[in-house]
Amino acid sequence: MTKEVDGQGEENLSIEEQKKKAAAEAKAKALELAKQRKAEKEAQEKTEAPAEEPLSVEDQKKKAAAEAKAKALELAKQRKAEKDAQEKAETPAEEPLSVEDQKKKAAAEAKAKALELAKQRRAEKEAQEKAEAPAEEPLSVEDQKKKAAAEAKAKALELAKQRKAEKEQAEAGVTSSISTEDEDKEKALALAKAKAAAAAKAKAAAAAKAKMAREAGQTDSEPADETEASNDEKALAAAKAKAAAAAKAKAAAAAKAKAMREAGDGGDAAADEKAKAIAAAKAKAAAAAKARASRDAGGEPASDDEKAKAIAAAKAKAAAAAKARAAGGTAKAEAEPAETKPSPYQPMLDQYVALIREQLGADVLEDAYINKLSKDVPTLVAKSDTYYIIAELLKTHDDLHFEYLSESHGTDFKTHFEVYNYLYSYKNRRPVVLKAKVDREKPEVASLAPLWEGANWPERETYDLLGITFTNHPNMTRIMLPDDWVGHPLRKDYEPFDVEV
């Protein structure tokens, strides 16, 4: 904990310093760039310097991380400074919150596109260099990787690297063990990626991009570190598997992504970020989003592990943004008509109704609708005298085949009772709700227990608490309350017979 706080303090300090500086010389963009490069180089040097004892390695790592963070922040500052310089110098921000503000502002004014792209390219190159530098011990490898992750804002580069590493791995045939920490991190990363992929719903675009990246990677023939290679390969494989899985559940994921986009202004932080990323993509400033993502990672006062996770998340976000952009309007175009579509279950309902009408006559159903409040379940309302034959058809007809009664209960709607049955077909994997209105004066309806044994007790419960008598039930007695209980408590007009009870 103290370590983290220390790190944060250090980072805040550098933020302040640099911010002041940036505010002062905001106009000198070129100078800033030069400085940045210097800072990066330093950070790199420090990371690469072989440590002699664990403690110093730790220190170095922290410093390097702080510097890397500072650098990432600088990008934000830079852009902010540009704007600020036009107005006036702003008081230096001291809390992560203000960093957030900066970020937002930065995103809003994603106009420095060209500059950003240039920077990005430069960062790519650097990250590549760093990754290629042979590590002398696992810890420094870790550092480098983290840094590289933080810096490698472009997903294209990431993919290229992975591809290259894969190739390397295949050639060298070297397997190296990795720590669980690595694995965890990668898992998180891969998952985040997969999530992003699903959310962006731009599979085709992603593939195209990946191919592009692969080509780019093939031109690159620098030898990479073995450890990292295997790690990256694994990450890629996992990401791929996850992506495949995600693609399978595409409909759901798409719906979720849509919902997220819609609820972007809600309290959900992640959704917020994603929405922001998408907004950025729309503004055709994916680079800005990426830079912001890296800043997110840099501005996170957290332990190494969490940082790594955050970086992964940020990267995924950036990738999502990029992909969303790449997918262009297609994703959007797909998403919008889906919203206007009534319900995915509508055809099912139509089929049920058609089947029932065909088999049992046109007027057996009182109503049939999609219950939007209940996950769009198709709902059939039977008349109390056709209730049993409809249930029988639902169970026995091959196209319906609702062999499972999930729930059965009744409700007192004052004007009438209603019996509610939630049926499910394991054969066809779909649900239906069968309801029937029951006359309140003569509360009698056919029992479903002869069809589904599972309706036995629930109907007894309904009888017990609501007083609906189910005819043909094998054992129509009270189940919850004592046999001598007077009245049916769930009726809206129930008065306790013995007020003391």
What track of x and - describes contact with another protein for positions 104 through 123 (by CB under 8 A)? --------------------
What CA–CA distance (Å, rounded) separates 286 from 291? 9
Q: Does 388 bind another protein (CB under 8 A)?
A: no
Q: CA 80 from chain center: how many Å?
A: 30
What CA–CA distance (Å, rounded) separates 242 from 411? 44
Q: Does 391 bind another protein (CB under 8 A)?
A: no
Pick from 269, 341, 358, 362 the residue near another protein by CB under 8 A. 269
* CA separation, residue 217 to residues 79, 202, 227, 228, 319 (Å): 31, 22, 18, 16, 18
What track of x and - describes contact with another protein for positions 470 through 499 (by CB under 8 A)? --------xxxxx------xx---------
Using the minimum distance from each CB to another protein, give the nearer residue, 22 or 319.
319
Q: Does 178 bind another protein (CB under 8 A)?
A: no
Q: What angle do CA 187, 194, 270 make, to 5 degrees?
A: 90
The one segment of 25-33, 286-294, 345-353, 398-406 that binds another protein by CB under 8 A:
398-406
What CA–CA distance (Å, rounded) separates 33 from 31? 5
Pick from 184, 215, 350, 367 the residue near another protein by CB under 8 A. 184
The one segment of 34-42, 135-143, 309-317, 344-352 that binds another protein by CB under 8 A:
309-317
Q: How far is the CB of 6 from another protein (least distance, A)?
A: 17
- Side chain identity at residue 61, one-letter code: K
The one segment of 70-78, 116-124, 263-271, 326-334 that binds another protein by CB under 8 A:
263-271
Say if residues 400 and 394 touch (Cβ distance below 8 Å). yes
Q: How far is the CB of 344 from another protein (least distance, A)?
A: 13
Q: Does 95 bind another protein (CB under 8 A)?
A: no
The one segment of 44-52, 132-140, 259-267, 354-362 that binds another protein by CB under 8 A:
259-267
Q: How far is the CB of 259 from another protein (least distance, A)?
A: 6
Q: How far is the CB of 368 from another protein (least distance, A)?
A: 14
- Side chain identity at residue 125, one-letter code: K
Torsion of CA 102, 105, 109, 114, to 10 degrees: 20
Residue 110's contacts (CB-CB under 8 Å, 6 or more residues apart) are: 116, 280, 283, 285, 287, 288, 289
* CA separation, residue 123 to residues 142, 226, 270, 406 (Å): 19, 22, 26, 57
Partnered with residue 377 across adjacent β-strands are 371
Q: What DSSP designation does 136 have?
A: S
Residue ranges that bind another protein, judged by CB under 8 A: 1, 184, 187-188, 191-192, 195, 242, 245, 249, 252-253, 259-260, 262-263, 266-271, 300, 302, 306, 309-310, 313, 371-375, 377, 403-407, 409, 411-413, 420, 422, 426, 429, 433, 452-458, 461, 465, 478-482, 489-490
